[in-house]
Amino acid sequence: MINAEVQKSGAESSLSVIRKFSRKVQGTGLIQTVRKGRYYERERSKTVSKKRALKRITRYENRLELIKEGKLVEEVKKGRRPQRDTGTAAQANAAAAAPAAPSGTSSRSSGLGESTPIAR
């Protein structure tokens, strides 16, 4: 254990004593070592990690079995976006799904409301 001790000398103000103490503590490196070990977590033994992995696997298999039997409804994860497909198949699907533009009008829109009834 490192001790940081400061003595008040004569007419020294309490603020200067506090400053002197904080400088001494910084010099010892005590705060840095405490901050480094703040979230330290001991490494688990191999047997414990293997047991946890086996439990996880059996839990997952039981869940899949319940879903297959219809006793558990598979839930959709919220907040996740579906992954984009960046191939030519995605472009072909988008082109097929898009409605055909009427003749005489361009298929591009500036997004400023040209298709609203007021702007026509």
Global pTM reads: 0.37
Residues 24-28, mean pLDDT to the nearest whole number: 90
The one-character DSSP state at 3 is -
The 10s digit of each residue's pLDDT in 40-54 is: 989 999 999 999 999
3-state per-residue secondary structure call for 36-105 = HCCCCCCCCCHHHHHHHHHHHHHHHHHHHHHHHHCCCCCCCCCCCCCCCCCCHHHHHHHHHHCCCCCCCC
Q: Per-residue pLDDT tens for 67-80?
A: 999 999 887 778 76
Decide which of 41 and 2 is more confident. Answer: 41
Q: Tell me if 14 sits within 8 A of 7, measured CB to CB.
A: no
pLDDT at 78: 81
Would you place residue 2 in the very low, low, confident or very high pLDDT band (cuts 50, 70, 90)?
confident
